[in-house]
Chain A
Amino acid sequence: MKHIIIFLGLLTICHTGFGQATVYPARAQNKAIAILGATIHTGTGQVIENGYITFDQGKITGIGDARVVKFNTNTYEMINAGGKHIYPGFISPVTDLGLIETSSIRATLDNSEVGNLNPHIRSIIAYNTDSKIPNTLRTNGILLAHITPQGGLISGQSSVVELDGWNWEDAAYKTDLGIHMNWPSSQISSRPNALPVEMQKENSQKAFSELERYFAEARAYSELSKPDVSNSRFNAMKGLFNNSKKLFVNAQNSKDIIAAVNFFKKMGINPVIAGAREAHLISSFLKDNNISLIINEPHALPSNENDDVYLPYKQAKMLSDAGINFAISIDGYWQQRNLPFMAGTAAAYGLSKEQALASITLNTAKILGIDKTVGSLEIGKDATLFISAGDALDMMSNDVEQAFIRGKNISLDNLHKQLFKRYSEKYEGK
Chain B
Amino acid sequence: MKKTLLFCFLLAIFHQSYSQETFPVNGSFDVRPGLIAFTNATIVISADQTINNGTLLVKGQNIEAAGQNITIPKGYLVINLEGKFIYPSLIDAFTSYGLPETPRQSFNFGRREVYTSTKKGAYGWNESIRPEMSAQNIFTVDSKKAEELKKIGFGTVHSVIRDGIARGTSLVSTLSNEKENQVIINKEAAANYSFNKGTAATDYPQSLMGAIALLRQTYYDAGWYKGQKTEHNISIEEFNRQQNLPQIFEIDDMLDVLRADKVGDEFGKQYIFKAGGNEFERIKEIKATGGSFIVPLNFPKAFDVEDAAEARNISLARMKYWELAPSNPSALEKAGIKFALTGLGLEKSGDFWANLRKAIEFGLTEKQALRSLTQIPAEMLGVSDQVGTLNKGKLANFIITSSSLFQKDNIIYENWVQGKRFVANKMDVTDLRGNYAMTLSGVGQLMLKIGGTPGSYDVNIVREGADSVKAKATMVRSGDLLSLYFDLKKSPAGTIRLNGYLDSAKPVALKGDAVFADGNTGLWSASFKEPFKENAKKETPAPVLALGTVIYPFVSFGYSEAPSQETVLFKNATVWTNEKEGKLSNTDVLIEGGKIKAIGKNLNAGKAKVIDASGKHLTAGIIDEHSHIAISSGVNEGTQAVTSEVRIGDVIDSEDINIYRQLAGGVTTSHLLHGSANPIGGQSQLIKLRWGKSPEEMKFGGNDGFIKFALGENVKQSNWGDAARTRFPQTRMGVEQVYVDAFTRAKEYQTARAIKGNNVRRDLELDALVEILNNKRFITCHSYVQSEINMLMHVADSMGFKINTFTHILEGYKVADKMAAKGIAASTFSDWWAYKNEVAEAIPYNGVLMSKVGVLTAFNSDDAEMARRLNQEAGKAVKYGGMSQEDALKLVTLNPAKMMHIDNRVGSIKAGKDADLVLWSDNPLSVYAKAEKTFVDGIAYWDMEKDAGKQKELKAEEARLVAKMLEAKNKGALTQKPGVERVRLYDCETLEGSDTEEIKADALSNY
Contacts and interface: CB of A to CB of B under 8 A. Distances in A.
- Asked if A and B bind, the verdict is yes
B677 to A, nearest CB: 15
A315 interface: no
B947 A309 contact: yes
Chain B interface secondary structure, helix, strand, loop or mixed?
Answer: loop
A348 B661 contact: no
Interface string B918-935: 000001011111100000
B864 A301 contact: yes
B816 interface: yes
Most A-side CB within 10 Å, residue of B557, B879, B977, B979 = B879
A420 B843 contact: yes
Contact of B927 (A254, A255, A344, A419): A344
Interface string B964-1003: 0000000000000111111100010010001110000000
Contact of A398 (B556, B661, B879): B879
B831 A191 contact: no
A95 B852 CA distance: 35
A245 B689 CA distance: 51
A200 to B, nearest CB: 8
A419 B980 CA distance: 45
Interface residues of B, number: 72
B926 A394 contact: yes
A194 interface: yes
B362 interface: no
Given A305-B317, A306-B316, A397-B879, A102 B831 contact: no
B840 A102 contact: yes
B690 to A, nearest CB: 17
B195 interface: no
A63 to B, nearest CB: 27
A396 to B, nearest CB: 4
B313 A395 contact: no
A30 interface: no
A427 B977 contact: no
A101 B930 contact: no
Q: Chain A, interface size: which category?
A: 35 or more
A393 B927 contact: yes
A15 interface: yes
A189 B979 contact: yes
A197 interface: yes
Interface in A32-88: none
B927 A190 contact: no
A400 B878 CA distance: 13
A197 B979 contact: yes
Contact of B837 (A102, A306, A349, A430): A102
Contact of B995 (A193, A334, A347): A193
Given A103-B834, A254-B309, A193 B979 contact: no
A345 B837 contact: no
Interface in B640-674: 657-658, 660-661, 664
A396 B923 contact: yes
B930 A348 contact: yes
A188 B875 CA distance: 40
A122 interface: no
A344 B853 CA distance: 32
Contact of B865 (A192, A300, A420): A300
A96 B994 CA distance: 31
B869 interface: yes
A430 B820 CA distance: 12
B927 A423 contact: no
A341 B872 contact: yes
B315 A427 contact: no
A413 to B, nearest CB: 13
A424 interface: yes
A427 to B, nearest CB: 5
A133 interface: yes
A395 B833 CA distance: 17
A419 B840 contact: no
B876 interface: yes
B835 A190 contact: no
A420 B833 CA distance: 14
A416 B845 contact: yes
A338 B831 contact: yes
A241 to B, nearest CB: 30
Nearest to A417: B845
Contacts of B841: 415, 419
Given A103-B836, A104-B836, A309 B661 contact: yes
A169 interface: no
Contacts of B557: 309
Interface in B846-891: 849, 852-853, 864-866, 869, 872, 875-876, 878-881, 885
A180 interface: no
Residue from the set A301, A393, A415 with the largest chain B CB neighbour count within 10 Å: A301
Interface string B872-913: 100110111100010000000000000000000000000000
20 contacts: A103-B835, A104-B835, A104-B837, A133-B834, A189-B981, A190-B980, A191-B980, A299-B866, A301-B661, A309-B557, A337-B831, A341-B927, A393-B927, A394-B926, A395-B875, A395-B925, A396-B878, A397-B878, A423-B814, A427-B853
Given A102-B840, A397-B878, 10 more contacts: A187-B313, A305-B317, A310-B664, A341-B927, A395-B872, A395-B876, A395-B925, A396-B879, A416-B845, A419-B843
Question: 8 tightest A-B contacts by CB?
Answer: A190-B979, A344-B927, A104-B836, A420-B845, A396-B875, A334-B834, A305-B315, A416-B843
